[in-house]
Structure 1
């Protein structure tokens, strides 16, 4: 995606390129999230500590691991520092466990994909200080935190009788693995032969859906006697296998294993929870591995002493068309069970509660006079107000979708949480349900404050106007009008039109209230305009239904749009209404950008060529300026208040032109293989900082320069990860000195006010008035 930001008007590097410059020492920067407050993505797992109240963790598929702050229901990210700058490998969490004997210890299985999208093998991370620091055990295979079946589990468990022992159920046919040294090392359990057989789409050539799901959960039976060495003797393991058997048990601490007799074979077990007081195992089943599939399922109770299964599937009075995922037991009230549908797409998810071990159930909602519904709940989204107009007001699925994790706090029967594909819901009055009255409503609240797991597609900051525009995956996008609002959850997301994913956003440099954004789903018009800085939007009448995604650029006066769509090729429209027409002088897939002060000028880049249009995007020509040694151009940023000033990020570093690309000068050779480049207001009067992802003295990092690229400062530091530099989105503030934004693929937008020298950062250098 293209980020259109500022350039540097002073401290220019002129003819002949720049000499390599020593990099300055990295300052200590404080990075924090731009607040959405509602998560914005899938939460497939939650684990409460069984012995210590207030200790709980939530895992996400692409946004890392979070620790609960019980005083205010907020969450703290605990895996930012371990995100690999060459990827976002450690933000994929496929399994989670705590040590029942030590409330400081937490374990997680890290890795994003088992196919070649993630080149790195998985790891089991262990922390003794509630996630503040981590150590790792390398695995000889991959882990899939964002693979199908990621809501099953938990696949990782600590033996409550001997916490030196951990088991991990792997994917991809790798079977069961065991640690006997507290998670420092793992070895395969050769006595466990089952590996799972189910792959959602065996013929999928990408490897995403053709990989077998493997093992689904590991559950220790605390009621069983201890074996030699103090280990728990009875352990249950679930597998994604509906052909032979899916539920296995050992009675001798893992020496031998057997399929449990009489088990249902039609479905795959998603959750297996032990009720120690009842000596029973509860299992939720679905005919898909989730989180998107599943059209049938069941809930069973296994009486351990009798060795007997009982079908306790809740009824909705008709044939169910969904599987079951979420399953919670109330440790304070044995026999109290809550289960959820995995995917009920209309009109909503189903959540059921039983207080008699599944003999009878009550529903959270039921039909009244269709289409009216009786509800046992009311909703509160104060922590993320945008969920209201963006989703609840426009969708029947108020309870969410993809419910795989559902937990009741083992220390508080009223406190419950469940994860969805949008946010984390829950509350503190669950037992109101037991009044069995449609008038006595419990409150379900959005409780994802602190969980930021959006995939950010583009970011921009308008000098004298809107402080931050963030285009996101899954939840559309957001407008933050001023820097003061960055710590407040927005009241609304981008809608009218609403697209699940917005691929890009741009603004008119000389008329900053004019903004354009593009969606990513062909089949409907995917371009919208705003004339109030991104507060309200209108569909562009000239867009067709075929073009989508890519990169968009708006002319300085807001009259012309050049759109490098994917699919759709390079397109152009003028006047806000004109139908888009093909631009044949730029290659398909080219980067496009607009000069922010000269409305007749647009820039383009493809491969090793830089292009300029002087007729408002009608035609493009290869620029005269040479970017020596550059074979691949990655990003183009035009100065927001100076015409003809443009920066280009390439595999050979960052280049700068002050004359519309007629000549280019290279910045310091200390920074190579650069990715996104952006500019923002600097500390000195009328100065602009330049920021870039690239490879410098500190490695692949985010760097900043206050001297036109002569020297580069590591502004990322060792304590903040952004994931892979190639997908990081970048914007410097057009209004606040030293303020810089990083959009990530999974952890939302980060911000920091950085010091690159000169006066104290943070002072405003431009007025809030948008340019006319």
Structure 2
């Protein structure tokens, strides 16, 4: 009988897991530090992101995410990818070094992951040290490489002083290369001990020279770069890795970023910057190293006052020896610059030049039809059409016209690069369709209003008016005002076209009266207020703002904000969606209620043994009904928080909680927490009495950083905002289960 009950429980959970897909914001949305094409097999290429995992290129220029399945709550750091390598002899094989941070933000060591089926499945080799996919210097590389003469041999250049590592069994195990003693000593800020900028950045790249012959079946000549702005930052082995020496005659200045072999020329091309990237760099250089004569040549395309940036992205044409394309790493004004040479760097041409200052001659046409919001929100409003942080720039080794480069916003590229040499005019498009690298800050789905409001980092936010629009990239981001990061968004429960959003910088508050289509500044926002979360009263006349630095603030009718009394700083807040006078708050073990439109708050009902209120969700259509997520599970009140019940103890240590339209007139409850299937997303169709795993095998990263909203309009639909993979959604019926099946 016990066996039957558990079998039925497992079957019900498995049956209820939903099928997830991305809401299509489109266009990338984040930084792509590296792009790698397979050298001999047409159409095989991958892109690595700093917080969103790996993507595989499709034949229609779109991309498919391939690492979601290894990024559950315990392995969220696998979305940080610090290095990428393909096996030159087997186009099905792909490797990556994964791990998010090398400081204590990420508690786990990194890994080398490997796939023999183009990312459909993965095997993992744990490392004894951390990997920094979202650390400074992440655009250098590639730090991981497969020996072109021997698929079993890989080298990986580590961070944090951990040196060079080698595998001789196709990535199953790695051992440290003791003969390589350089570790890459540069630390961006030595005073930031234990912080983001306080670690050694380590090795910059590994490049095999396939023209130098083999020894015992392995490539003899290997180059390794280090994050050192010293006399030695490029090292070479002439004996398949047995011994290493600094390359003679090297520049001895700046940090090497990219090193690419052109085998027909028997030459290496290297880009340098005086910063390790991706944000810095005010000087730099480009060099060509002749392998036959062991000589260096400075081929930097500009000098003097024209040189106010470093160099990052480097594309080498494998079909046309001597043809290369390089990019400024960071030219913040007026735009990035891209240079092309067809004579090994002896002469260069630019992708834009000054006409009659400040007029510019642009030798390109640019579009973003696959993600229209990029043009309306960025290209049409900023001088930087070409972008910034250009570390990845590649030419398809089998197609000289096909090129891609990445910025902090998107992947650009095109299919007519050789026109640069004839008409000196190329077509550039946003080619990041399928890449959803957005860090989602908040979600909302007003019943009877816009289907989805998504506040995101770096790209402001987006409104999806109806269910059909979830599959189409928006025409605009949140604009007028537009700002970098929107940290929270809320709607007025009885006037759902009224929306408020706030941003991460001072005086960033905006309102909409048409469901988030158009916006205007909230006049009462003070210059000291920023970040945190926002709650809008039911009629939309009062704003409660739990700021990141100034406590909880209140404003009415766009008036000046003032402190909300009796509510602790950094409190969790929410508005009753039907009663305009009621706001809710939570801090530590206490739940608070205001019945005077947020002017004052008083402690309300007990939350049992809870010590941390983490989220509050008011019922969208019922006054006084509120759900509270805590460190011991979910609590429910139907009397404005005067008293609470805990419908079930099956779900523990919960984070965000949300309500969404269920079948008929019912509402589903959704929550991130730890239940029978582990730390996942669960749904309940019986007011929290039983909970079902609806996440299944889909990875959302760490559940304590995910955002959550149930659809107010589409039955059974739920939205999850991730920190690096955009917004996911799924729909389905959550079956009610008897207590027999309650784990």
Report the TM-score range of the alignment, normalised by the length of the smaller protein.
Answer: over 0.9
Query: Which is worse superposed, 112-121 or 661-670?
Result: 661-670
Aligned to 1:67: 56
Aligned ranges for residues 552-591 of structure 1 at < 5 Å? 552-575=534-557, 577-591=558-572
CA contact (8 A) 2:537 2:597 kept: yes
Q: For 1:89, what is the secondary structure of its paired residue?
A: helix
CA contact (8 A) 1:87 1:725 kept: no
Cα distance change of structure 1 residues 756 and 671 upon mapping to structure 2, 3 Å threshold:
same
Question: Out of 686, 696, 700, which is 2:679 matched to?
Answer: 700
Aligned to 2:272: 285
* Matches of 2:116 and 2:269, distance apart in 1: 30
Aligned to 1:605: 586
Aligned ranges for residues 467-506 of structure 1 at < 5 Å? 467-506=451-490
Q: Deviations over 1:241-270 (max 9, x none)?
A: 122400000010000001011101111110
Question: Out of 333, 353, 356, which is 1:369 matched to?
Answer: 356
Shift of 1:225: 1.1
Q: For 1:318, what is the secondary structure of its paired residue?
A: helix
Aligned to 2:626: 646
Aligned ranges for residues 290-439 of structure 1 at < 5 Å? 290-315=277-302, 318-437=305-424
Q: Deviations over 1:161-190 (max 9, x none)?
A: 000000000001000000000000000000
Question: Out of 639, 651, 672, which is 1:671 matched to?
Answer: 651
* Matches of 1:161 and 1:667, distance apart in 2: 62
Q: Deviations over 1:427-462 (max 9, x none)?
A: 00001100154xxx2110000000001100000001
* Matches of 1:376 and 1:659, distance apart in 2: 66
* Matches of 1:622 and 1:22, distance apart in 2: 39
Q: For 1:386, what is the secondary structure of its paired residue?
A: helix
Shift of 1:317: 6.7
Q: How many residues align?
A: 728
* Matches of 1:478 and 1:28, distance apart in 2: 27
Shift of 1:758: 7.5
Q: Deviations over 1:282-333 (max 9, x none)?
A: 0000011000011100000000110100000002673411100000100110
CA contact (8 A) 1:633 1:648 kept: yes
Query: Which is worse superposed, 201-210 or 49-58?
Result: 201-210
Question: Out of 245, 251, 258, which is 2:238 matched to?
Answer: 251
CA contact (8 A) 2:230 2:254 kept: no
* Matches of 1:210 and 1:758, distance apart in 2: 51
Aligned to 1:102: 90
Higher relative contact order (CA 8 A, sep 6+): 1
TM-score, length-normalised on structure 1? Answer: 0.93
Aligned to 1:13: none
* Matches of 1:733 and 1:206, distance apart in 2: 41
Aligned to 1:738: 716
Shift of 1:65: 0.3
Aligned to 2:688: 709
* Matches of 1:376 and 1:238, distance apart in 2: 34
* Matches of 2:573 and 2:9, distance apart in 1: 32
Q: For 1:226, what is the secondary structure of its paired residue?
A: strand
Shift of 1:585: 1.2
1:460 partnered with 2:444: yes
Q: Deviations over 1:188-225 (max 9, x none)?
A: 00010111111111111342111111100000000011
1:155 partnered with 2:155: no
Question: Out of 213, 226, 233, which is 2:214 matched to?
Answer: 226
Question: Out of 35, 39, 46, which is 1:57 matched to?
Answer: 46
The runs of 5 or more residues in structure 2 that have no matched partner are: 1-7, 738-743
Aligned to 2:24: 35
Q: For 1:434, what is the secondary structure of its paired residue?
A: helix
CA contact (8 A) 1:693 1:725 kept: yes
CA contact (8 A) 1:99 1:163 kept: yes
Q: For 2:545, what is the secondary structure of its paired residue?
A: strand
The runs of 5 or more residues in structure 1 that have no matched partner are: 1-20, 760-772
Q: For 1:592, what is the secondary structure of its paired residue?
A: strand
Aligned to 1:9: none
Shift of 1:368: 0.5
CA contact (8 A) 1:284 1:326 kept: yes
Question: Out of 582, 597, 602, which is 1:621 matched to?
Answer: 602
* Matches of 1:252 and 1:113, distance apart in 2: 34
Aligned to 1:756: 734
CA contact (8 A) 1:38 1:423 kept: yes
* Matches of 2:527 and 2:514, distance apart in 1: 25
Q: Deviations over 1:470-525 (max 9, x none)?
A: 00000000000001100100000011111100000000000001000000012xx2
Shift of 1:757: 2.4
CA contact (8 A) 2:13 2:694 kept: no
* Matches of 2:25 and 2:449, distance apart in 1: 20
Aligned to 2:665: 686
CA contact (8 A) 1:22 1:670 kept: no
Q: Deviations over 1:91-134 (max 9, x none)?
A: 00000000000000000000000000000100000000000100
Q: For 2:119, what is the secondary structure of its paired residue?
A: coil
